[in-house]
A = this chain, B = another copy of it.
Amino acid sequence: MKALVVGGSGYTGGELLRLLLNHPKVSEVGATSRKHSGRYVWEVHQNLRGAYDGKFSEYKEGKVDADVVFLALPHGQSMEHAPRLVEKGVKVVDLSADYRIGDVELFEKSYVKHKSPELLERAVYGLPELFRDDIRKADLVANPGCYPTAAILSIAPLQKFKDSMDLRVIVDSKSGTSGAGATPTESLHHCEVAGNLKPYKVTGHRHQPEMEHILRRMMPGLSVSFTPTLMPVVRGILSNTHVFCDFDVVDLAEHFGDFYKGERFIRIVETATTKNVLCSNYCDISVHYDNEKDRGLFISAIDNLVKGAAGQAVQNMNLVMGYQEDEGLAELPYHP
C-alpha cells in the first residue's frame, strides 16, 4: 500500500518515515514539505540517508495518490486538508490536535476556530487500547497527544472505582524536548535545557482538556489537574497520576493486568521508567498504593515520538487497513 506523510520534515514526520520505510505492508512512501520541497528527504533527516531516496514534494490535494495520509502538521492546518481527503475516500491519520476533542467549544477554547466541525463526530480518537473497534471502522483517526496517551492509559482502568474515588486527579508529567519540535527557540537551546528541570504551562496546558474530555466518557465528572515539566532528555514522557481512594479492596496491579490483558503494547511493570520503552511503541505502567494515605499512584512511561505520536499513528493505520496491529512496530526498546 501507499502512504503519504504530509508535513514530513519535523521530528514526528521523520519518525513516521523511519517506521513506514521498514513496514512490511507499505510499498511506497511519500513525504511533503512546504519548506523543503524539492530536496532529498535524507538531507533533512540525515539518519535516513542511504535508506530512502525520495524527495519532499509540495502538497497538492489533487495529486494525492495514497491509501493512507498522515497529517503531521501544526494544529489548525490539518483541518484544512482532512475534509477533502476523507471525501475522496483516503484514510486519514491526523497527528495534530484538530480532531481530538469532540466538543467544538472546548476545542476552540484551547486552540483556534474550527474549520470543519462537521467532521468532529466522524473522527475517532486513536487510542487503540481503548477504542480499537471504532478505529477499525474509521476513515479519520485523531492521533492522541503525547501527554494524553500516557495519562489516559494509566487512568482508564480506574473507571471501576469511579464511584468511590476522589475524582480530582493530579497528573504531574515530565517530558523530553523532542515533543516540542524541531524549531530552534530560546527555551529549547541546549544551554538552557541541559542540567535544568523546568516546569512550563503549569496550569493551562492544552493537553489537559483533551485528557479530561476523553476520560469523562468513562468517568463522568472526572477532573484532571495537569502540570508538565521539561526535562533534559530527548525522548520520553513519564506521567505520575495521584488519586485519593481506598483502593485497598482490590489488588490494583492485578486489576490493571486484567484490564490490559492481551494488549501487545502495554506492560504492567514494577516501576515504569522512560529508558525501558525508548524507541518502541510500548507504554509501561506501574501501579502503586500508599495504604496510609489512601493514595494511588499510577506511573506510565512512553517514548513521546513513538507511542506518543508516530508509532501510535502506525498502529492506527494498521487497524484502519485491517493489518495485524503490531505490523512494523516490532522494534524493541534499546538499552542502555
Contact = CB atoms under 8 A, between A and B. Distances in A.
Interface in A317-336: 330-336
Contact of A46 (B223, B231, B276): B276
B225 A290 contact: yes
Nearest to A334: B279
A299 B196 contact: no
A22 interface: yes
Nearest to A168: B244
Interface stretch (A30-38, A72-80, A124-132, A183-191): A183-191
B231 A336 contact: no
Interface string A43-79: 0011111110000000000000000000000000000
B11 A199 contact: no
Contact of A334 (B18, B182, B190, B267): B18
Contacts of A100: none
Contacts of A223: 293
A178 B330 CA distance: 24
A232 B194 contact: yes
Given A47-B335, A336-B178, A234 B190 contact: yes
Contacts of A202: 271, 288, 297, 299
Nearest to A181: B191
Candidate in A168, A202, A236, A336 with the most chain B CB atoms within 10 angstroms: A336
Copies in the complex: 4
Nearest to A184: B184
A172 to B, nearest CB: 4
A178 B335 CA distance: 9
Contact of A335 (B14, B189, B203, B278): B14
Interface string A284-325: 001011100101010101000000000000000000000000
A269 interface: yes
A200 interface: yes
Contacts of A51: 332
A46 B272 contact: no
A242 interface: yes
B49 A267 contact: yes
Given A197-B274, A198-B271, A289-B203, A335 B177 contact: no
A196 B234 CA distance: 10
Nearest to A306: B334
24 contacts: A14-B335, A15-B334, A46-B276, A47-B275, A172-B172, A172-B240, A182-B191, A184-B185, A184-B186, A184-B188, A190-B190, A191-B336, A194-B233, A195-B233, A196-B275, A197-B231, A197-B274, A198-B274, A199-B286, A225-B290, A225-B293, A227-B240, A232-B232, A242-B242
The 7 closest A-B pairs by CB, nearest first: A191-B336, A196-B275, A47-B333, A184-B184, A203-B290, A47-B335, A172-B172
Given A51-B332, A189-B189, 6 more contacts: A22-B330, A46-B269, A170-B242, A177-B191, A192-B275, A199-B299
